[in-house]
Structure 1
Protein backbone atom coordinates (compact mmCIF):
# COMPACT_ATOMS: atom_id res chain seq x y z
CA UNK A 1 0.00 0.00 0.00
CA UNK A 2 1.16 3.56 -0.68
CA UNK A 3 0.77 5.50 2.56
CA UNK A 4 1.31 9.21 3.15
CA UNK A 5 2.07 10.48 6.63
CA UNK A 6 1.46 14.17 7.27
CA UNK A 7 4.00 15.36 9.83
CA UNK A 8 7.67 14.60 10.37
CA UNK A 9 7.93 14.84 14.16
CA UNK A 10 8.40 12.00 16.62
CA UNK A 11 4.95 10.53 15.91
CA UNK A 12 5.33 10.71 12.14
CA UNK A 13 8.81 9.18 12.27
CA UNK A 14 7.68 6.28 14.47
CA UNK A 15 4.73 5.46 12.22
CA UNK A 16 6.72 5.84 9.01
CA UNK A 17 9.50 3.54 10.21
CA UNK A 18 7.08 0.79 11.23
CA UNK A 19 4.98 0.90 8.06
CA UNK A 20 8.11 0.94 5.90
CA UNK A 21 9.39 -2.06 7.86
CA UNK A 22 6.14 -3.86 6.99
CA UNK A 23 6.79 -3.31 3.30
CA UNK A 24 4.55 -0.36 2.50
CA UNK A 25 5.60 2.48 0.24
CA UNK A 26 5.81 5.40 2.65
CA UNK A 27 5.77 9.12 1.84
CA UNK A 28 6.14 11.82 4.49
CA UNK A 29 4.58 15.22 3.96
CA UNK A 30 6.14 18.44 5.23
CA UNK A 31 6.02 22.13 4.33
CA UNK A 32 9.67 22.36 3.24
CA UNK A 33 11.49 19.06 2.57
CA UNK A 34 14.93 20.70 2.28
CA UNK A 35 14.56 22.47 5.61
CA UNK A 36 13.16 19.33 7.26
CA UNK A 37 16.16 17.25 6.16
CA UNK A 38 18.48 19.74 7.90
CA UNK A 39 16.79 19.53 11.32
CA UNK A 40 19.33 18.61 13.97
CA UNK A 41 17.33 18.76 17.21
CA UNK A 42 16.65 15.25 18.65
CA UNK A 43 13.08 14.02 18.96
CA UNK A 44 11.67 12.77 22.25
CA UNK A 45 11.18 9.13 21.20
CA UNK A 46 14.32 8.12 19.27
CA UNK A 47 16.74 10.72 20.58
CA UNK A 48 17.84 11.31 16.98
CA UNK A 49 17.45 14.40 14.86
CA UNK A 50 15.34 14.16 11.72
CA UNK A 51 18.54 14.45 9.67
CA UNK A 52 20.01 11.38 11.44
CA UNK A 53 16.74 9.47 11.31
CA UNK A 54 16.27 10.15 7.62
CA UNK A 55 19.74 8.83 6.80
CA UNK A 56 18.66 5.53 8.34
CA UNK A 57 15.34 5.54 6.44
CA UNK A 58 16.36 6.80 3.02
CA UNK A 59 13.75 4.60 1.31
CA UNK A 60 11.01 6.83 2.69
CA UNK A 61 10.11 9.71 0.39
CA UNK A 62 9.89 13.27 1.70
CA UNK A 63 7.64 15.66 -0.24
CA UNK A 64 5.64 18.86 0.28
CA UNK A 65 2.22 18.24 1.86
CA UNK A 66 0.21 18.62 -1.34
CA UNK A 67 2.48 16.49 -3.52
CA UNK A 68 2.71 13.82 -0.83
CA UNK A 69 -1.08 13.52 -0.63
CA UNK A 70 -1.95 13.41 -4.32
CA UNK A 71 -1.12 9.86 -5.42
CA UNK A 72 -1.59 7.68 -2.36
CA UNK A 73 -3.91 5.01 -0.99
CA UNK A 74 -4.09 6.20 2.62
CA UNK A 75 -3.26 9.48 4.36
CA UNK A 76 -2.35 9.48 8.06
CA UNK A 77 -2.59 12.81 9.84
CA UNK A 78 0.21 12.93 12.42
CA UNK A 79 0.47 16.71 12.55
CA UNK A 80 0.13 18.92 15.60
CA UNK A 81 -3.61 19.27 16.22
CA UNK A 82 -3.39 23.06 16.28
CA UNK A 83 -1.96 23.03 12.74
CA UNK A 84 -4.10 20.25 11.28
CA UNK A 85 -6.84 22.29 9.60
CA UNK A 86 -4.37 24.77 8.09
CA UNK A 87 -2.29 21.94 6.65
CA UNK A 88 -5.36 20.26 5.18
CA UNK A 89 -6.36 23.59 3.61
CA UNK A 90 -2.89 23.80 2.08
CA UNK A 91 -3.31 20.33 0.58
CA UNK A 92 -6.82 21.09 -0.68
CA UNK A 93 -10.00 19.05 -0.35
CA UNK A 94 -9.90 18.00 -4.01
CA UNK A 95 -6.55 16.26 -3.50
CA UNK A 96 -8.01 14.17 -0.67
CA UNK A 97 -11.35 13.42 -2.31
CA UNK A 98 -12.31 9.74 -2.07
CA UNK A 99 -9.28 8.87 0.07
CA UNK A 100 -9.19 7.42 3.56
CA UNK A 101 -7.65 9.77 6.11
CA UNK A 102 -6.69 8.32 9.48
CA UNK A 103 -6.63 11.21 11.93
CA UNK A 104 -4.34 10.78 14.96
CA UNK A 105 -4.20 14.42 16.01
CA UNK A 106 -5.58 15.80 19.27
CA UNK A 107 -6.86 19.34 19.91
CA UNK A 108 -4.28 20.23 22.55
CA UNK A 109 -3.82 23.88 23.51
CA UNK A 110 -0.44 24.53 25.17
CA UNK A 111 -0.85 28.32 25.19
CA UNK A 112 -1.02 28.34 29.01
CA UNK A 113 1.60 25.67 29.57
CA UNK A 114 1.28 22.12 30.88
CA UNK A 115 -1.10 20.42 31.22
CA UNK A 116 -2.75 21.65 28.03
CA UNK A 117 -6.47 22.22 27.62
CA UNK A 118 -8.57 21.18 24.61
CA UNK A 119 -9.38 23.87 22.07
CA UNK A 120 -12.49 21.96 21.02
CA UNK A 121 -14.53 19.48 23.09
CA UNK A 122 -17.97 18.41 24.37
CA UNK A 123 -20.12 19.42 21.38
CA UNK A 124 -17.49 19.10 18.64
CA UNK A 125 -14.13 17.47 17.99
CA UNK A 126 -11.11 17.92 15.80
CA UNK A 127 -12.07 14.71 14.00
CA UNK A 128 -15.45 16.20 13.11
CA UNK A 129 -13.85 19.45 11.99
CA UNK A 130 -11.54 17.48 9.69
CA UNK A 131 -14.51 15.61 8.23
CA UNK A 132 -16.43 18.87 7.74
CA UNK A 133 -13.47 20.44 5.94
CA UNK A 134 -13.09 17.31 3.78
CA UNK A 135 -16.69 16.21 3.08
CA UNK A 136 -15.66 13.79 0.31
CA UNK A 137 -12.83 12.22 2.31
CA UNK A 138 -13.40 9.12 4.47
CA UNK A 139 -12.12 10.33 7.83
CA UNK A 140 -11.39 7.76 10.54
CA UNK A 141 -10.30 8.86 14.01
CA UNK A 142 -8.10 6.42 15.88
CA UNK A 143 -4.86 5.64 17.71
CA UNK A 144 -5.01 9.04 19.42
CA UNK A 145 -5.19 7.73 22.99
CA UNK A 146 -1.65 6.32 23.32
CA UNK A 147 1.92 7.14 22.46
CA UNK A 148 3.24 6.53 18.96
CA UNK A 149 5.47 3.61 19.91
CA UNK A 150 2.53 1.67 21.34
CA UNK A 151 0.46 2.56 18.25
CA UNK A 152 3.00 0.73 16.11
CA UNK A 153 4.18 -1.91 18.64
CA UNK A 154 1.13 -2.93 20.68
CA UNK A 155 2.85 -6.09 21.94
CA UNK A 156 5.17 -3.95 24.06
CA UNK A 157 2.41 -3.75 26.67
CA UNK A 158 1.64 -6.98 28.50
CA UNK A 159 -1.92 -8.26 28.20
CA UNK A 160 -4.90 -6.85 26.38
CA UNK A 161 -5.33 -3.12 25.82
CA UNK A 162 -7.62 -1.26 23.49
CA UNK A 163 -7.86 1.32 20.76
CA UNK A 164 -10.93 3.14 19.55
CA UNK A 165 -12.14 4.03 16.05
CA UNK A 166 -14.66 6.65 14.96
CA UNK A 167 -15.88 7.35 11.44
CA UNK A 168 -18.88 7.60 9.17
CA UNK A 169 -17.69 5.12 6.52
CA UNK A 170 -17.65 1.48 7.60
CA UNK A 171 -15.57 0.29 4.66
CA UNK A 172 -12.93 2.89 5.52
CA UNK A 173 -12.87 1.67 9.12
CA UNK A 174 -12.56 -1.91 7.89
CA UNK A 175 -9.53 -0.90 5.80
CA UNK A 176 -7.93 0.70 8.85
CA UNK A 177 -8.65 -2.41 10.92
CA UNK A 178 -6.90 -4.54 8.29
CA UNK A 179 -3.81 -2.33 8.58
CA UNK A 180 -3.97 -2.43 12.39
CA UNK A 181 -4.03 -6.22 12.35
CA UNK A 182 -0.96 -6.17 10.13
CA UNK A 183 0.79 -3.88 12.61
CA UNK A 184 0.06 -6.36 15.39
CA UNK A 185 -3.20 -5.30 17.01
CA UNK A 186 -5.69 -8.00 17.98
CA UNK A 187 -9.13 -7.70 16.43
CA UNK A 188 -10.79 -8.17 19.83
CA UNK A 189 -8.94 -5.12 21.15
CA UNK A 190 -10.22 -2.74 18.45
CA UNK A 191 -13.43 -1.00 19.52
CA UNK A 192 -15.53 0.73 16.86
CA UNK A 193 -17.37 3.48 18.73
CA UNK A 194 -19.53 4.56 15.79
CA UNK A 195 -19.70 7.69 13.65
CA UNK A 196 -17.19 10.55 13.63
CA UNK A 197 -19.01 12.39 16.44
CA UNK A 198 -17.72 9.73 18.85
CA UNK A 199 -14.25 11.22 18.35
CA UNK A 200 -15.32 13.76 20.98
CA UNK A 201 -15.00 11.05 23.62
CA UNK A 202 -11.56 9.78 22.62
CA UNK A 203 -10.14 13.28 22.26
CA UNK A 204 -11.46 14.08 25.74
CA UNK A 205 -9.47 11.13 27.12
CA UNK A 206 -6.32 13.16 26.55
CA UNK A 207 -6.56 15.18 29.79
CA UNK A 208 -6.71 11.84 31.66
CA UNK A 209 -3.84 10.42 29.61
CA UNK A 210 -1.67 13.49 30.29
CA UNK A 211 -2.26 13.33 34.02
CA UNK A 212 -1.42 9.62 34.05
CA UNK A 213 1.79 10.45 32.22
CA UNK A 214 2.68 13.07 34.83
CA UNK A 215 1.87 10.70 37.71
CA UNK A 216 3.53 7.58 36.28
CA UNK A 217 6.52 9.41 34.85
CA UNK A 218 6.39 7.55 31.53
CA UNK A 219 4.07 6.96 28.56
CA UNK A 220 4.33 3.19 28.26
CA UNK A 221 0.67 2.56 29.14
CA UNK A 222 -2.71 2.32 27.46
CA UNK A 223 -6.37 1.91 28.32
CA UNK A 224 -7.88 -1.53 28.92
CA UNK A 225 -11.67 -1.99 28.94
CA UNK A 226 -12.72 -4.80 31.27
CA UNK A 227 -16.22 -6.16 30.81
CA UNK A 228 -18.31 -8.38 33.03
Structure 2
Protein backbone atom coordinates (compact mmCIF):
# COMPACT_ATOMS: atom_id res chain seq x y z
CA UNK A 1 0.00 0.00 0.00
CA UNK A 2 1.10 3.58 -0.66
CA UNK A 3 0.99 5.80 2.43
CA UNK A 4 1.39 9.56 2.60
CA UNK A 5 2.49 11.00 5.94
CA UNK A 6 1.94 14.68 6.71
CA UNK A 7 4.63 15.74 9.17
CA UNK A 8 8.33 14.95 9.55
CA UNK A 9 8.73 14.95 13.32
CA UNK A 10 9.53 11.94 15.46
CA UNK A 11 6.00 10.52 15.17
CA UNK A 12 5.93 10.83 11.40
CA UNK A 13 9.39 9.32 10.94
CA UNK A 14 8.69 6.46 13.35
CA UNK A 15 5.45 5.54 11.58
CA UNK A 16 7.14 5.88 8.19
CA UNK A 17 9.98 3.59 9.18
CA UNK A 18 7.63 0.91 10.47
CA UNK A 19 5.47 1.06 7.35
CA UNK A 20 8.48 0.69 5.07
CA UNK A 21 9.72 -2.26 7.12
CA UNK A 22 6.33 -3.91 6.54
CA UNK A 23 6.65 -3.49 2.78
CA UNK A 24 4.51 -0.38 2.33
CA UNK A 25 5.72 2.53 0.20
CA UNK A 26 5.79 5.87 2.01
CA UNK A 27 6.14 9.51 1.07
CA UNK A 28 7.04 11.67 4.07
CA UNK A 29 5.64 15.14 3.48
CA UNK A 30 6.78 18.52 4.76
CA UNK A 31 6.17 22.17 3.91
CA UNK A 32 9.27 22.26 1.72
CA UNK A 33 10.90 19.74 -0.59
CA UNK A 34 14.19 20.77 1.02
CA UNK A 35 13.19 19.64 4.52
CA UNK A 36 16.35 18.13 6.00
CA UNK A 37 14.62 15.57 8.21
CA UNK A 38 12.49 14.24 5.35
CA UNK A 39 15.41 14.07 2.94
CA UNK A 40 17.59 12.27 5.48
CA UNK A 41 14.84 9.78 6.29
CA UNK A 42 14.18 9.03 2.61
CA UNK A 43 17.88 8.51 1.94
CA UNK A 44 18.21 5.82 4.61
CA UNK A 45 14.76 4.27 4.04
CA UNK A 46 15.61 2.66 0.71
CA UNK A 47 13.54 2.41 -2.46
CA UNK A 48 10.19 2.37 -0.63
CA UNK A 49 10.83 5.67 1.15
CA UNK A 50 10.38 9.10 -0.45
CA UNK A 51 10.23 12.72 0.65
CA UNK A 52 8.05 15.46 -0.75
CA UNK A 53 5.71 18.30 0.08
CA UNK A 54 2.48 17.92 2.01
CA UNK A 55 0.58 17.99 -1.29
CA UNK A 56 2.82 15.34 -2.84
CA UNK A 57 2.47 13.06 0.16
CA UNK A 58 -1.32 13.40 0.14
CA UNK A 59 -1.53 12.71 -3.59
CA UNK A 60 0.82 9.73 -3.29
CA UNK A 61 -0.97 7.96 -0.47
CA UNK A 62 -3.83 5.52 -0.83
CA UNK A 63 -4.01 6.15 2.92
CA UNK A 64 -2.86 9.38 4.59
CA UNK A 65 -1.62 9.97 8.14
CA UNK A 66 -1.64 13.36 9.82
CA UNK A 67 1.40 13.32 12.13
CA UNK A 68 1.69 17.07 12.66
CA UNK A 69 1.10 18.92 15.91
CA UNK A 70 -2.61 19.35 16.55
CA UNK A 71 -2.37 23.13 16.71
CA UNK A 72 -1.18 23.28 13.08
CA UNK A 73 -2.91 20.18 11.70
CA UNK A 74 -5.67 21.89 9.73
CA UNK A 75 -3.22 24.42 8.29
CA UNK A 76 -0.87 21.64 7.16
CA UNK A 77 -3.70 19.66 5.60
CA UNK A 78 -4.90 22.77 3.75
CA UNK A 79 -1.46 22.88 2.15
CA UNK A 80 -1.91 19.21 1.25
CA UNK A 81 -5.19 20.08 -0.44
CA UNK A 82 -8.75 18.82 -0.26
CA UNK A 83 -8.73 17.06 -3.63
CA UNK A 84 -5.92 14.55 -2.92
CA UNK A 85 -7.53 13.72 0.44
CA UNK A 86 -11.03 13.13 -0.91
CA UNK A 87 -12.28 9.58 -0.44
CA UNK A 88 -9.16 8.46 1.42
CA UNK A 89 -8.76 7.16 4.96
CA UNK A 90 -7.05 9.94 6.90
CA UNK A 91 -5.62 8.82 10.25
CA UNK A 92 -5.25 11.71 12.67
CA UNK A 93 -2.67 10.95 15.37
CA UNK A 94 -2.26 14.57 16.50
CA UNK A 95 -2.86 16.20 19.88
CA UNK A 96 -3.68 19.91 20.39
CA UNK A 97 -1.13 20.52 23.13
CA UNK A 98 -0.36 24.14 24.02
CA UNK A 99 2.57 24.83 26.36
CA UNK A 100 2.78 28.04 28.36
CA UNK A 101 6.12 29.81 28.94
CA UNK A 102 6.13 28.13 32.37
CA UNK A 103 5.62 24.70 30.86
CA UNK A 104 1.96 24.34 31.83
CA UNK A 105 -0.09 22.28 29.39
CA UNK A 106 -3.51 23.09 27.98
CA UNK A 107 -5.49 21.98 24.93
CA UNK A 108 -6.86 24.05 22.06
CA UNK A 109 -9.51 23.05 21.03
CA UNK A 110 -11.03 21.22 24.00
CA UNK A 111 -14.36 20.18 25.57
CA UNK A 112 -16.77 20.99 22.74
CA UNK A 113 -14.45 20.33 19.79
CA UNK A 114 -11.34 18.41 18.80
CA UNK A 115 -8.68 18.39 16.11
CA UNK A 116 -10.24 15.24 14.70
CA UNK A 117 -13.57 17.01 14.28
CA UNK A 118 -11.95 20.13 12.84
CA UNK A 119 -10.24 18.02 10.19
CA UNK A 120 -13.45 16.17 9.33
CA UNK A 121 -15.36 19.47 8.97
CA UNK A 122 -12.62 21.05 6.88
CA UNK A 123 -12.29 17.98 4.62
CA UNK A 124 -15.78 16.43 4.53
CA UNK A 125 -14.87 14.00 1.75
CA UNK A 126 -11.94 12.55 3.70
CA UNK A 127 -12.64 9.50 5.90
CA UNK A 128 -11.10 10.72 9.14
CA UNK A 129 -10.20 8.24 11.88
CA UNK A 130 -8.71 9.37 15.18
CA UNK A 131 -6.19 6.77 16.35
CA UNK A 132 -2.76 6.27 17.94
CA UNK A 133 -2.73 9.63 19.73
CA UNK A 134 -2.79 8.07 23.22
CA UNK A 135 0.61 6.35 23.13
CA UNK A 136 4.22 7.23 22.49
CA UNK A 137 5.37 6.85 18.87
CA UNK A 138 7.58 3.86 19.69
CA UNK A 139 4.68 2.05 21.36
CA UNK A 140 2.49 2.87 18.35
CA UNK A 141 4.60 0.61 16.15
CA UNK A 142 5.81 -1.85 18.81
CA UNK A 143 3.12 -2.60 21.40
CA UNK A 144 5.37 -5.27 22.93
CA UNK A 145 7.37 -2.50 24.59
CA UNK A 146 4.56 -2.50 27.18
CA UNK A 147 4.05 -5.89 28.88
CA UNK A 148 0.66 -7.55 29.08
CA UNK A 149 -2.60 -6.61 27.41
CA UNK A 150 -3.30 -2.95 26.71
CA UNK A 151 -5.49 -0.91 24.41
CA UNK A 152 -5.71 1.55 21.57
CA UNK A 153 -8.82 3.45 20.51
CA UNK A 154 -10.37 4.55 17.23
CA UNK A 155 -13.08 7.10 16.51
CA UNK A 156 -14.63 8.15 13.21
CA UNK A 157 -17.82 8.42 11.22
CA UNK A 158 -16.99 5.74 8.63
CA UNK A 159 -17.10 2.12 9.90
CA UNK A 160 -15.18 0.77 6.89
CA UNK A 161 -12.45 3.36 7.39
CA UNK A 162 -12.12 2.35 11.04
CA UNK A 163 -11.91 -1.31 10.01
CA UNK A 164 -9.10 -0.44 7.59
CA UNK A 165 -7.23 1.34 10.38
CA UNK A 166 -7.69 -1.59 12.78
CA UNK A 167 -6.26 -3.89 10.09
CA UNK A 168 -3.22 -1.64 9.72
CA UNK A 169 -2.76 -1.57 13.49
CA UNK A 170 -2.74 -5.39 13.44
CA UNK A 171 0.26 -5.17 11.09
CA UNK A 172 1.94 -3.01 13.74
CA UNK A 173 1.40 -5.84 16.24
CA UNK A 174 -1.78 -4.78 18.03
CA UNK A 175 -3.74 -7.99 18.74
CA UNK A 176 -7.32 -8.53 17.68
CA UNK A 177 -9.60 -7.07 20.34
CA UNK A 178 -7.03 -4.64 21.71
CA UNK A 179 -8.39 -1.74 19.62
CA UNK A 180 -11.62 -0.31 21.04
CA UNK A 181 -14.06 1.54 18.74
CA UNK A 182 -15.41 4.55 20.68
CA UNK A 183 -17.89 5.65 18.03
CA UNK A 184 -18.07 8.69 15.80
CA UNK A 185 -15.50 11.43 15.41
CA UNK A 186 -16.80 13.39 18.41
CA UNK A 187 -15.07 10.76 20.58
CA UNK A 188 -11.81 12.39 19.49
CA UNK A 189 -12.51 14.99 22.19
CA UNK A 190 -12.05 12.46 24.99
CA UNK A 191 -9.02 10.86 23.32
CA UNK A 192 -7.28 14.22 23.01
CA UNK A 193 -8.21 15.14 26.60
CA UNK A 194 -6.28 12.10 27.83
CA UNK A 195 -3.00 13.75 26.90
CA UNK A 196 -2.42 16.02 29.92
CA UNK A 197 -2.96 12.91 32.08
CA UNK A 198 -0.58 10.95 29.84
CA UNK A 199 2.09 13.60 30.36
CA UNK A 200 1.65 13.36 34.13
CA UNK A 201 2.07 9.58 33.90
CA UNK A 202 5.24 10.00 31.86
CA UNK A 203 6.61 12.27 34.56
CA UNK A 204 5.67 9.73 37.20
CA UNK A 205 7.25 6.74 35.43
CA UNK A 206 10.18 8.64 33.97
CA UNK A 207 9.67 7.09 30.54
CA UNK A 208 6.98 6.67 27.84
CA UNK A 209 6.73 2.87 27.63
CA UNK A 210 3.29 2.60 29.23
CA UNK A 211 -0.31 2.44 28.08
CA UNK A 212 -3.93 2.11 29.21
CA UNK A 213 -5.42 -1.32 29.88
CA UNK A 214 -9.22 -1.29 29.94
CA UNK A 215 -11.18 -3.97 31.77
CA UNK A 216 -14.95 -4.41 31.57
CA UNK A 217 -17.24 -6.58 33.68
CA UNK A 218 -19.35 -7.47 30.65
Range class of TM-score, shorter chain:
over 0.9
Aligned counterpart, 2:14: 14
Distance, in Å, in 2 between the alignment partners of 1:199 and 1:217 is 27
Distance, in Å, in 2 between the alignment partners of 1:150 and 1:33 is 29
Deviation (angstroms), 1:227: 2.0
Deviation (angstroms), 1:88: 1.1
Which structure 2 segments of 5+ residues have no match?
A: none
Aligned with 1:173: secondary structure? helix
CA RMSD of aligned residues (A): 1.4
For the pair 1:28 / 2:28, whether they are aligned, the reply is: yes
- Deviation by residue 1:136-161 (Cα, 9 ceiling, x = unmatched): 10000011000000000011211001
Which structure 1 segments of 5+ residues have no match?
A: 40-49
Distance, in Å, in 2 between the alignment partners of 1:90 and 1:128 is 18
8 Å contact 1:115–1:210 — kept in the other structure? no
For the pair 1:108 / 2:97, whether they are aligned, the reply is: yes
Give the counterpart of 1:56 among 37, 44, 49: 44
- Deviation by residue 1:103-143 (Cα, 9 ceiling, x = unmatched): 00001112444242001111111100010000010000011
8 Å contact 1:84–1:105 — kept in the other structure? yes
Distance, in Å, in 1 between the alignment partners of 2:33 and 2:46 is 13
Distance, in Å, in 1 between the alignment partners of 2:41 and 2:127 is 31
Cα distance change, pair 175–199 in 1 and its aligned pair in 2 (3 A): same
Aligned length: 216
Distance, in Å, in 2 between the alignment partners of 1:189 and 1:172 is 17
Residues 31-180 of structure 1 mapped to structure 2, 5 A cutoff:
31-34=31-34, 36-37=35-36, 53-59=41-47, 60-180=49-169
Cα distance change, pair 109–155 in 1 and its aligned pair in 2 (3 A): same
For the pair 1:211 / 2:195, whether they are aligned, the reply is: no
Alignment TM-score, normalising by the size of structure 2: 0.95
